[in-house]
């Protein structure tokens, strides 16, 4: 989930609210909070967590923010159970914290609990319906649950609010807009609306020219539309211009081989399938590659 760093940075700007503390105590806690936030920004996550734990034992103010920062620190360590515990605590402290519900949703999403994640993201969007992050996360959860119509709507909502942010030429909203259009395109692919999916992927690439998922989505949409030569060229561009893992490269070669089969370029297709066999140890990939053009 791309938003975690953004949300954490939003959280970090908060200060402590004095609730009867002496000025000296408040000053010391402000210093401790600053140090904890610095540790988080410096990617010293274990030390940051220890610092937030200490503050949570002594500080009765801003507990929501402390739990949130603690949760995002755990997310960087990929301990999503601890992240869920922290983010859930934030929503208990303040039931109207949109950041807290989004944080909780991200933890649940990473734990594969997509229905529960969806409910958390919906809570975030109900509290703050103009935040594109929450709509995009809701779209991802819906996509995992195969609710493609609803995922399409949620990604469109994200796009609507991101377009407003892009007007100031900021880079981050533009990257997020690329993600939202890609998510929209993926939903349209699953719905069989290939021409609309192609248009969505083109919009994604316009906002982020090197976005691999959108490039791959565009090539698949071209294949689904029967534009086999264009699809092969699109897959070739990915192979030439992107640093891919072996599994990613095998996926591209597999799709390329299928396109070449449909274009009746059987010798080239056979070479593509041999690349799949060399690159991937996945049994399903091997089965498809060994079948060659017989998989059609």
pLDDT digit string (tens) for the chain, length 296 residues: 444 433 433 333 333 333 344 555 555 667 778 888 889 999 999 999 999 999 898 866 778 999 999 999 999 999 999 999 999 999 999 999 999 999 999 999 999 999 999 999 999 999 999 999 999 999 999 999 999 999 999 999 999 999 887 766 556 788 899 999 999 999 999 999 999 999 999 999 999 999 999 999 999 999 999 999 999 999 999 999 999 999 999 999 999 999 999 999 999 999 999 999 999 998 999 999 999 897 55
**Residue 278 domain flag:** yes
Number of domains in the chain: 1
pLDDT at 27: 55
pLDDT at 10: 33
Nearest to 285 by CA among 243, 253, 242, 259: 253
pLDDT at 57: 87
Domain that holds residue 279: 226-296
**Residue 161 domain flag:** no
Nearest to 152 by CA among 165, 139, 141, 164: 139
On the 0-12 / 13-18 / 19+ scale of CB atoms within 10 A, 57 is exposed
Structure tokens at 67: 């739990």
Helix (H, G, I), strand (E, B) or coil at 145: coil
pLDDT at 141: 97
pLDDT at 153: 97
In this structure, the number of other CB atoms found within 10 A of the CB of residue 92 comes to 12
**Residue 276 domain flag:** yes
**Residue 204 domain flag:** no
pLDDT at 2: 40
pLDDT at 93: 93
**Residue 46 domain flag:** no
**Residue 24 domain flag:** no
């Amino acid at each position: 989930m791309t938003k975690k760093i953004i949300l954490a940075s939003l959280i970090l700007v908060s200060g402590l609210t004095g609730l009867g503390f002496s000025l000296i105590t408040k000053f010391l806690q402000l210093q401790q909070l600053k140090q904890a936030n610095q540790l988080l920004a410096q990617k010293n996550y274990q030390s940051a967590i220890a610092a937030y734990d200490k503050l949570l034992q002594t500080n009765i103010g801003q507990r929501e923010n402390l739990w949130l920062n603690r949760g995002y620190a755990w997310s960087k360590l990929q301990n999503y159970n601890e992240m869920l515990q922290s983010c859930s605590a934030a929503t208990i402290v303040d039931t109207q914290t949109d950041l807290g519900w989004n944080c909780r949703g991200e933890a649940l999403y990473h734990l594969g609990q997509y229905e529960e994640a969806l409910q958390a993201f919906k809570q975030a969007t109900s509290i703050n319906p103009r935040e594109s992050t929450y709509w995009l996360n809701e779209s991802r959860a819906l996509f995992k649950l195969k609710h493609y119509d609803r995922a399409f709507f949620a990604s469109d909502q994200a796009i609507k609010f991101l377009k407003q942010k892009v007007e100031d030429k900021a880079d981050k909203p533009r990257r997020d807009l690329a993600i939202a259009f890609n998510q929209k395109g993926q939903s349209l692919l699953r719905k069989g609306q290939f021409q609309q999916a192609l248009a969505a992927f083109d919009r994604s690439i316009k906002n982020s020219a090197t976005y691999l998922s959108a490039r791959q989505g565009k090539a698949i949409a071209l294949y689904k539309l029967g534009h086999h030569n264009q699809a092969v060229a699109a897959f070739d561009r990915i192979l030439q211009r992107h640093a891919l893992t072996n599994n990613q490269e095998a996926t591209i070669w597999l799709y390329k081989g299928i396109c070449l089969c449909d274009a009746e370029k059987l010798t080239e297709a056979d070479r593509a399938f041999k690349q799949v066999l060399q690159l991937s140890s996945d049994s399903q990939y091997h089965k498809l590659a060994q079948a060659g053009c017989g998989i059609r």
